[in-house]
Structures are given as C-alpha cells and as structure tokens.
Chains A and B, each alone.
Chain A
C-alpha cells in the first residue's frame, strides 16, 4: 500500500480533477466571443460550484477507495465543509452577474423568467434550503429521518436543476460532446445515490442476519450477536463498522452506523455490535427479539490496526470502547504479543462496559488497562477526571511518535486528545480516530 501522504495527495488531485477538468474541457475547440472578465469569472465559479455539488454524491456513496485514507467521519466532515464553499460559489455566480449586468435582475421574477433562469432559481433555493436544514436541524426541531430524506431529495433537485440551467443557457455547450460530458458526469454522480439506496439494499436483502443473542453489558449497553443466514457473512478488519437496519427492510432510508465489537478472527461469519442507550434509536436495542432478521451493510472504515508500530495505544471514551474490544479480541486470537495500552475513560466504576472482559484479556495479551473515571468511588487511587496529555505522559513511554494511536469517543474528548497528540508532536499518520456521531 502507498504511504499515507501519497494516498492523501492522490485523493486531492483526483478530487480537483473532477471539479476543474470538466470546466476546462469547455475551453477546447472553437468558442463563442468572450464576454467581460467578471461575466466569464461568474460562469467559471458557477460551473465549479455545480461540479462540486455533484461530487458530494460520490463522497457519501460509501466507497472504500474514497473514504480511505481519511476515514468515514472525516469524509462526512469534509462533505459538510466543502458544501458551504460550493453553495457560496453557486450563490456568488448570479450576484456577480446582477452587479455587472443589472438588467438580469428581471430574471428574478420567477413567473416571467425563461425556464433556464427558473432552473437556476430552483437549484439555488434548494441548495440554500439544504444548508439551512443541515446547519440548524436540531434548532429547527427536524427529526433526523425527515432531514435525511429531505436532504437527498433537495440535493437531487439542486443538481438536476443546475445542469438543466447550464444546458438551457448553453453558452459553452455548442458541441454535443461537451453537453454529453457534463450530463454524463451528473448522471454518474446521481447514479451513485441510486446504487446506495436501491441496488445495494437489493444485495443486502439476499444476505440477511439473525439475532442470535442480546446480551446486557455494563453501562446501559447491549451487545447484539448476529449470525449470517444462508450466506458466509463478510470478513472485516478490527475497528471497522457497519450500517445496521434492525426495524424494516434495507430500503429504509436510515441505517445506523455501529462498530463491530467481536473478534475479526472468527470463522463462522458472526459479528457483534455493542450499542449504548443514548436515548434515540439506541433506546430500543434491548427490545430486539432473539431470532429477528436484521440487515448489515459493511464493513466500512479506515480505523484499523495493521501499520507497523512498537506498541498500540488505544484511547476510548464511553461506548468508544467497542472498536477497541474488537481489536483486542482479534490480537488475542492471533496470539499477537506486542504491548498494548488501553486508556479508557468512563463515568464511574460500575458503568465500565467490558470491565471484566478486559481483565480477562490481560492473560492473553501484553495489555495494560488504565481506567480514567470522571466520577470515581471513594478510595479510588487510579486516574480521575478526563484523559489528557498529563495522563499520556504518566503512562506512555517516550518517544511518543513511535506508537500507533487509536482514539474513539465523544467529540469533546476526541478534540482534546487530538490537540494533546499534536502538542506531543505525534504526526497525523500515526493516529487514527473515529467519531461515532459523524452522521
């Protein structure tokens, strides 16, 4: 496999090629007479904005070679941030035109405007609605499921209307091959949505799982043990996750991402997911009956063990222990004797998920477990408070950048730990993190 910086560089170059390539293709061949600089600049950012919006479908289509080397959580974060820039470009496109050619303001009259202008308005308003609903979903009290469905519909409308506007205007699209290129690319990106929402669920429907056991763990947490039904299941790398659909068919819009918590070394295809009751969909997990048919889309994620390192440092907060448990069980099953340190933050002693299982793993691994409790019992002599740089320095041997770090937990914890690792000069390539509230 290519080194991390090379994979990052290739990813960025490919992304920019998809955004800028179709735009420069418009300059090939004979062209209509040029307009003024600002009109041409406005057209260029309109094309680029539309290409970036189309690419958003590719970013979230769950393809491994897209999500590597970043990890799924970072791809979704990039998807959010880049959409603000793309929408900014799309909105600036007409604003510049209105400034240099005020007569175009008449096109804002939706009733009297030609269709090519109406399409532009539909596209722009849809994009603004997507941004408003995404940034303020919680404040606007929009249910996640409602938001997700609306998000998809508005995104399809925005991109389709955008391309219709472009063809309707047709300034640079006199050659059929240019029209074919832009329409073809747009259809390709939209097709990814249909693949993930229609084709993939069809495959999943033929590869169901059965709930073999629902096991209560410490900390209001439950483990679902799932057995493949009529197929061998899939193999995964410890630390990866899957999209679980418990209630309804895989065509249902909302699968939920959960890490696998079982060993990747099992051979019967069974997988465990350990899920904490966080008050939403997860509050129903303990009610799942044994024998129920569920659907599992996976494995996904680049949060995996495998790079050479002198020791592995696992840092978990709360239910962030689940991918770590999969890593530890897999290392134990493989007889790996490299040292592993687990720094594990929990609220109190009684709510430490997998407390006993971790103790048992010490017999099979070169494992040190450091519990950090925010609400320790009387007489507690271990670490208390939250995991920070001081805790690292007390328990990890220097040099810190020789170790490989895995971090999973609440966003606040992740932010503070990533900051601490930065201060300890641990390079980005040496740590992996996964935010379990990335969607």
Chain B
C-alpha cells in the first residue's frame, strides 16, 4: 500500500507538472 501510494504520488506529480507546463505555455501565448 505504501509503495502503491508512492506510485500514485509520482503519477500525480507528473500530471501536475504537465498541467502547470500547459499553464506556463498559455500564459506566454496569452501575453
């Protein structure tokens, strides 16, 4: 369970980073 939690945390981190990268690109293009 702890490893599963760590797996999900890594996956969630990846998703957050990609979403924030989309935000970064959007902010740049929208300027």
A370 to B20 Cα, complex, angstroms: 51
By a CB distance below 8 angstroms, the chain A residues around B21 are: 23, 41, 44-45, 48
- On whether the beta carbons of B6 and A78 are closer than 8 Å, the reply is yes
Shortest Cβ distance from A34 into B: residue: B28
- Which chain A residues in 206-227 approach chain B with CB under 8 Å? none
A419 to B14 Cα, complex, angstroms: 25
- Which chain B residues in 4-18 approach chain A with CB under 8 Å? 5-7, 9-11, 13-14, 16-18
Identify B31's interface contact among A20, A34, A45, A422, CB under 8 A. A34
- On whether the beta carbons of B1 and A45 are closer than 8 Å, the reply is no
By a CB distance below 8 angstroms, the chain B residues around A229 are: none
By a CB distance below 8 angstroms, the chain B residues around A40 are: 24-25, 28-29
- On whether the beta carbons of B13 and A85 are closer than 8 Å, the reply is yes
Identify whether the interface residues of B are mostly helix, strand, loop, or mixed.
helix
A36 to B30 Cα, complex, angstroms: 10
A241 lies within 8 A of chain B by Cβ = no
A170 to B4 Cα, complex, angstroms: 39
Supposing A418-B1, A418-B2, A428-B2 touch, asked if A37 and B26 sit within 8 A by C-beta, the answer is: yes
- Which chain A residues in 51-87 approach chain B with CB under 8 Å? 52, 70-71, 74, 77-78, 81-82, 84-85
Shortest Cβ distance from B3 into A: residue: A77
A48 to B11 Cα, complex, angstroms: 15
- Which chain A residues in 381-422 approach chain B with CB under 8 Å? 415, 418-419, 421-422
Give the distance to chain B from A401, nearest Cβ to Cβ, in Å: 13
Identify B17's interface contact among A20, A74, A77, CB under 8 A. A20
Stretch at the interface among A11-19, A262-270, A314-322, A345-353: A11-19
**Cβ proximity bits A1-31 to B, threshold 8 Å, 1 near / 0 not:** 0000000000010011001100110010001
By a CB distance below 8 angstroms, the chain B residues around A27 are: 24, 27-28
- Which chain A residues in 224-266 approach chain B with CB under 8 Å? none
By a CB distance below 8 angstroms, the chain A residues around B13 are: 12, 15-16, 19, 82, 85
Residue of A44, A421, A428 with most chain B CB atoms under a 10 A cut-off: A44
A332 lies within 8 A of chain B by Cβ = no
A126 to B7 Cα, complex, angstroms: 24
Shortest Cβ distance from A39 into B: residue: B25
By a CB distance below 8 angstroms, the chain A residues around B3 are: 74, 77, 415, 418
A84 to B17 Cα, complex, angstroms: 14
A24 to B24 Cα, complex, angstroms: 8
- On whether the beta carbons of B24 and A23 are closer than 8 Å, the reply is yes
A27 to B14 Cα, complex, angstroms: 21
A89 lies within 8 A of chain B by Cβ = yes
A433 lies within 8 A of chain B by Cβ = yes
By a CB distance below 8 angstroms, the chain A residues around B31 are: 31, 34
Identify A78's interface contact among B10, B20, B24, B27, CB under 8 A. B10
A-B contact pairs, 19 of them (CB 8 A): A12-B13, A15-B13, A20-B20, A27-B27, A37-B25, A37-B26, A38-B25, A40-B29, A44-B25, A45-B17, A48-B17, A71-B2, A74-B5, A85-B14, A85-B17, A88-B14, A89-B14, A418-B2, A422-B1
List A residues at the B interface (Cβ < 8 Å).
12, 15-16, 19-20, 23-24, 27, 31, 34-38, 40-41, 43-45, 48, 52, 70-71, 74, 77-78, 81-82, 84-85, 88-89, 415, 418-419, 421-422, 428, 433
List 6 A-B pairs, minimum CB-CB distance, nearest first: A44-B21, A81-B10, A40-B25, A41-B25, A85-B14, A44-B24
